[in-house]
Chain A
């Protein structure tokens, strides 16, 4: 059941993105920035957590989930470390994902060649 919830919520979040790609001149890069910022703001306002509770990966896997993670991280750090938490919280939460992307991509560049189309 929870897999089904993840499927359709994640699907809808992607469809919104698809409509933006097809109907506006917005390039994917701008759309991704919008998703992260919206996820962060909704997370900060406490509005994203219910979606995470309901749909699990359907809410955390899309890039809005990354934004939510940033918000969650900064709030937790401010709670535990005060003022300096403002600067450490977001990237601390994102650290794993970013390091993973950097490290795996670097490895891929070692082993793979650019392919034509």
Chain B
């Protein structure tokens, strides 16, 4: 086994990969939610002055990427790689958003797990000695996603209680080799494999993805010989209330107790009672926004010392669904720690 590999899914970085900055741009509904005050920029109108939803998403990506670079006190030429993804066919939101910023581009598709996937890959590129600074991000847009995956927006149909609301926005971070203890840092990276429990209902993504999160989490604990108590916060992404309950039950069945330190980004981004978002938020931006707006700050201030960040994705297309295929899920994650602000290492 290679030195850095702890197991099939977990790798341990030799040196901390610092998160130099985090930037977030969120849509209107998100700005009206519980995290509304925390985003760097919020949109009054999800069209962002553009003529189509798709162009709006690309503009959100473009601006947020620039903001993340600026907040890290860098310029685009300092960045060695840009790793991002989104939900649109052929990840065109990222493509058209990034094209103006001339950085070697690695496009990834992990559906809603993209932020975890991209952060993990970026950290490995740095720890592997291939880069000093990597820009990482994920975006999604409710209207563009509905149009592609479900139905035109004007349709008067009802959404079942298990459905989730695709988040509009972009979250981005700059990872760097050269950081300091005022910055949170990544220590370990987990990469999931595709988990398929034969769920076919595209209106219940939480259930489709929960097994992937549970499996990767349990693999991590076994491979590192740790348990949930090691962390201050364990956050999955996009599972919503339904999926979160399932993960808790799946882990309990194997003897792992997840208490209140466990949260899901889908349940944090919207207010269940007042915003009518049923099972919660989803989309690549969900976990990206919750991490960059909320948890990055808490880590930077030393209020949280150890976090397991593990967004999940549902890997399907309208075609695969219509052909009767199930919806496989995948999870990707990183462990982030902080030494800030209490004087001892």
Contacts and interface: CB of A to CB of B under 8 A. Distances in A.
Do A and B interact directly, with beta carbons closer than 8 Å? yes
Given A116-B45, A116-B142, A21 B201 contact: no
A117 B143 contact: yes
Contacts of B46: 116
Interface in B124-154: 142-143, 152-154
Contacts, number: 24
Contacts of A115: 153-154
B158 interface: yes
Given A114-B143, A117-B143, A28 B154 contact: no
Interface string A74-117: 00000000000000000000000000000000000000001111
Contacts of B274: none
B158 A21 contact: yes
B323 interface: no
B47 interface: yes
A25 B158 contact: no
A114 B158 contact: no
Interface in B13-64: 28-29, 45-47, 53
Interface string A1-44: 00000000000000000000110010010000000000000000
B260 interface: no
A35 B71 CA distance: 57
B157 interface: yes
Residues of B contacting A: mostly: loop
A43 B143 CA distance: 40
Nearest to B155: A28
A116 B153 CA distance: 7
Contacts of B152: 114
Contacts of A21: 158
Interface string B108-135: 0000000000000000000000000000
B142 A28 contact: no
A28 B153 contact: no
Contact of A116 (B47, B160, B201, B203): B47
A117 B157 contact: no
A13 B12 CA distance: 61
| Residue of A22, A28, A116, A117 most packed against chain B (CB within 10 A) | A116
Contacts of A22: 160
A115 B154 CA distance: 7
Interface of A: 21-22, 25, 28, 114-117
24 contacts: A21-B158, A22-B160, A25-B201, A25-B203, A28-B157, A114-B53, A114-B143, A114-B152, A114-B153, A114-B154, A115-B153, A115-B154, A116-B28, A116-B45, A116-B46, A116-B47, A116-B53, A116-B142, A116-B143, A116-B153, A117-B29, A117-B142, A117-B143, A117-B153
Given A25-B201, A25-B203, A114-B154, 12 more contacts: A21-B158, A22-B160, A114-B53, A114-B152, A114-B153, A115-B153, A116-B45, A116-B143, A117-B29, A117-B142, A117-B143, A117-B153
